[in-house]
Structure 1
Amino acid sequence: MLIMSFIMMLIILFSIILIIMNFFIMFKINFSREKSSPFECGFDPFSSPRLPFSINFFLISIIFLIFDIEISIILPMIINYKYSQIFYWMFLNFIFMLILIFSLLIEWVDGSINWMF
């Protein structure tokens, strides 16, 4: 028990030392106008940096996220085929795939998959 408390004290002491070192290191020593400007390459900005976000990128990323999560759900289903009733898992997998195909058709009809408008 004494060794455990000694180790805890060392961990706390080491953490405090790291926090104090970080406090002294985090301040900038040299202030440079070029380094603090948003464009470090030397070119002046020609347009506003707040351009409107393309909704196509957002829709494609949401679609990718949905189908990426779908793969992480289907893989354990395949492994569970060995350990449980096969008809129950086939029915659940069929319903899950039916929902995914239906959502893909909705995205296709809506035009979310088309890159160009």
Structure 2
Amino acid sequence: MMSTMMLAMAMMILSNVLMMLNTMISKKSINDREKSSPFECGFDPKSSSRTPFSLKFFLIAVIFLIFDIEIALMLPMIPIMVKLNMTQWMLTTMTFITILTLGLYHEWYQGALMWTK
């Protein structure tokens, strides 16, 4: 028991020493103007690097991610059909698809899917 505790203590000390050594070695000490500026084909950028982007693109990306996750959640429904009885499976599947349909209707009603607005 004592040897296990000593071994655990030695591993903790060794890992802490290695982490401290890593933080001391890896710090950049010189901040170069060229390295901290945005890079654009070797030239200085002509405009600000923080230009605003269209909120529509962001909204479409978020909607895509939501529907992508929903598809990943729907894929296991087919193999689960074998393990559940048909009424449980139908109730679970219809509840899930109803929630998805209501979410799609809400996004459509709010105008999130109107691209030319």
Per-residue CA distance 1:41-86 (angstroms, 9 max, x = gap): 4312221222123112211222122212212322333332222221
Q: Greater relative contact order: 1 or 2 (C-alpha under 8 angstroms, separation 6 or more)? A: 1
Contact 1:107 1:113 in 2 (8 A): yes
How far apart, in 2, do the equivalents of 1:98 and 1:19 lie? 51
Contact 1:59 1:112 in 2 (8 A): yes
How far apart, in 2, do the equivalents of 1:40 and 1:21 lie? 35
How far apart, in 2, do the equivalents of 1:73 and 1:16 lie? 41
- TM-score scaled by length of structure 2: 0.74
Aligned positions, number: 117
Tell me which residue corresponds to 2:89: 89
Q: Which runs of 5+ in 1 are unaligned?
A: none
How far apart, in 2, do the equivalents of 1:29 and 1:46 lie? 29
> CA 1:91–1:15 in 2, change beyond 3 Å: closer, same or farther?
same
Q: Which runs of 5+ in 2 are unaligned?
A: none
Tell me which residue corresponds to 1:100: 100
How far apart, in 2, do the equivalents of 1:79 and 1:19 lie? 46
Contact 1:56 1:115 in 2 (8 A): yes
How far apart, in 2, do the equivalents of 1:49 and 1:17 lie? 39
Q: Which is further off, 65-74 or 29-38?
A: 29-38
Q: CA RMSD in A?
A: 2.6
Contact 2:38 2:49 in 1 (8 A): no
How far apart, in 1, do the equivalents of 2:41 and 2:18 lie? 34
